[in-house]
Amino acid sequence: MSRSIGVVTPAVRRKLALLGGAPAFAEPVYITRPRLPERAVFDGLIDTIFQTRWLTNDGTLVRRLEERLQLRLGTGFCRTFCNGSIALLTALRSLDLRGEVITTPFTFPATVHAIEWAGLTPVFCDVDAATYNLDAACAAELISERSAALLPVHVFGNPCDVAAIDALAQAHGLRVVYDAAHAFGVVHRGRPIGCWGDLSIFSFHATKPFHSAEGGAVVGSDARLFADLGALRNSGIRSEDLVLGVGLNGKLSELHAAMGLAVLDLLDDEIRKRAALAGRYRAQLAGLPGVIFQQVPAQTVPNHAFFTVEIDADRFGCSRDALHLALRAENIVARKYFHPLCSDNEAYRRLPSAQPQRLPNAQRLAARILCLPLYGDLPEDHVDRIADCVLSVHDAAAAVGAAMDACPP
Ligand SMILES: *Cc1c(COP(=O)(O)O)cnc(C)c1O
């Protein structure tokens, strides 16, 4: 296919590594790299720990972090946890639920595992084809007398249809816990993302835009839940003489809080850098046949936790899997988030709601989605070269598809 002379795009692209060319990168470019604070800032916080000899159990750094997170997240309260999974499990326990929880299969496995660990039954609901989030109309059809709660995920940081979900929950007397693990710092309809539903949870894992190496939080506004969450994360201990409820140890340590405090100062800069890089990807990939971007709802300030492309094989020329393989040969570590679907896990496949034909949008998405490397310190020229590799794969799609077919599975 000849291109017009004089455009920025070269007429002949680089020879792909999968087809015998030299890889675009000598070292692997990973999907993400954690943002690290200045060593001196971190050391200053660690000095506090050595001075106080206070390592965990409501120390000064955890309390300072919780205060700052509550301000940043604009919620009534913020309880930190040792990770997002335990935050979610404890959030579900604090609501004292029985029965079924309606959720999305297009998420990180921890979302669904938390439901099962809390002694509840997951019910999988299909997603919206454009926003990738739980489809409220599908959820309505899954509600029964066994339903206890909705657990939607703001997937890739993209806000759910919060108005429809909250209306549905109210109409049926259901609780709502949002998995906002990807959505730290996102603002939607003029409000921080943690303001909807009964509770929201965040993950501060090293792979998330805001992190404390490992960590997480539950946010909400109900004072009773605030007290219960505090006791539940501390083995159910309410006072020296009162232990109540099935608690666990879900506490964040002072060491992790130190990392969290130091990284929090860098978050706005991190999001700003990601926004510029995501814009750069978009500018170079927009209009490429068969490349689709996630639809972001109106009135959203995103955090650019991920940069995703959805590959329509018929129009792009080869499949997502072929593109993934070709990028890997270039030393570009793109990831197929979230494939396989949680509903295809052998632990959940037996559920009636897990049947693939009941989840057509999620199934199609899991076969087509690809996340490209994105983090604040990713050099601009890396974005350009990664985008160029995607364009080159499109140009050589037939040969890439054939090479893919020749590869043993
Ligand atoms: C990361 C993540 C979690 C779990 O968080 P951890 O801190 O890794 O336990 C939960 N849900 C989603 C959607 C996530 O991406």
pLDDT at residue 50 in the model: 97
pLDDT above 90 for 6: no
**For residue 98, which of 75, 77, 115, 81 has the smallest C-alpha distance?**
115
Q: What single string gives the DSSP state of each residue in 195-229? A: GSSSEEEEE--TTSSS--SS-EEEEES-HHHHHHH
Q: Give the chain's mean pLDDT.
A: 95
Q: What is the pLDDT of residue 138?
A: 98
| Nearest alpha carbon, ligand 1 atom 5 | 84
Quickly tell me which residue has 């921080």 as its tokens: 192
pLDDT tops 50 at residue 57: yes
Ligand 1 centroid–CA 180 distance in Å is 9
CA triplet 247, 248, 254: central angle to 5 degrees?
125
107 within ligand 1 shell (Cβ under 6 A): yes
CA distance 52 to 65: 17
> Which residue among 179, 184, 186, 204 is best mutated to probe the pocket of ligand 1, counting the most ligand atoms within 8 A of its Cβ?
179
Q: How much is the pLDDT for 406?
A: 86
Nearest-atom number in ligand 1 for the CA of 214 is 7
Residues whose CB is less than 8 angstroms from the CB of residue 24 and which lie 6 or more positions away in sequence, other chains included: 14, 17, 330, 331, 332, 385, 386, 388, 389
Q: What is the pLDDT of residues 306-334, one digit of tens each?
A: 999 999 999 999 999 999 999 999 999 99
DSSP 297: P
Q: Give me the mean pLDDT over the 265-283 stretch.
A: 98
Residue matched to tokens 């899997």: 321
Question: What average pLDDT does the segment 386-405 reach?
Answer: 95
User: Is it the case that residue 381 has pLDDT exceeding 60?
Assistant: yes
Q: Which pLDDT band holds residue 13 (cuts at 50, 70, 90)?
A: confident
Q: What is the mean pLDDT of residues 122-145?
A: 98
Q: For 75-113, what is each residue's pLDDT tens digit?
A: 999 999 999 999 999 999 999 999 999 999 999 999 999
> 158 CB less than 6 Å from ligand 1?
no
pLDDT of residue 10: 46
Cα-to-centroid distance, 231 and ligand 1 (Å): 22
Q: Is the CB of 83 under 6 A from ligand 1?
A: yes
Q: Stretch 282-307: mean pLDDT, rounded?
A: 97
Say how many Å lie between the CA of residue 211 and the centre of ligand 1. Answer: 11
pLDDT confidence bin for 407, thresholds 50/70/90? confident
Q: Is the CB of 153 under 6 A from ligand 1?
A: yes
Instruction: Tell me the CA–centroid distance for residue 86 and ligand 1, in Å.
Output: 9
What is the share, in percent, of the chain residues with pLDDT greater than 70? 97
Q: Name which of 216, 29, 9 is nearest 110 in CA terms.
A: 216
Query: Is residue 110 in contact with ligand 1, taking CB distance under 6 Å?
Result: yes
Given the CA of residue 114, which atom of ligand 1 is nearest to it? Answer: 10
Q: Mean pLDDT throughout 207-224?
A: 97
Ligand 1 pocket test, pick from 32, 116, 203, 214 with the greatest ligand atom count within 8 Å of Cβ, gives 203
pLDDT at res. 409: 63
Q: Could you read off the pLDDT of 20-36 as tens digits, one per residue?
A: 999 999 999 999 999 99
Query: 3-state class of 79 per DSSP?
Result: strand
Distance 203 CA to ligand 1 centre (A): 5
Pairing of strands 307-311, 369-372: antiparallel
> Three-state DSSP class for 381?
helix
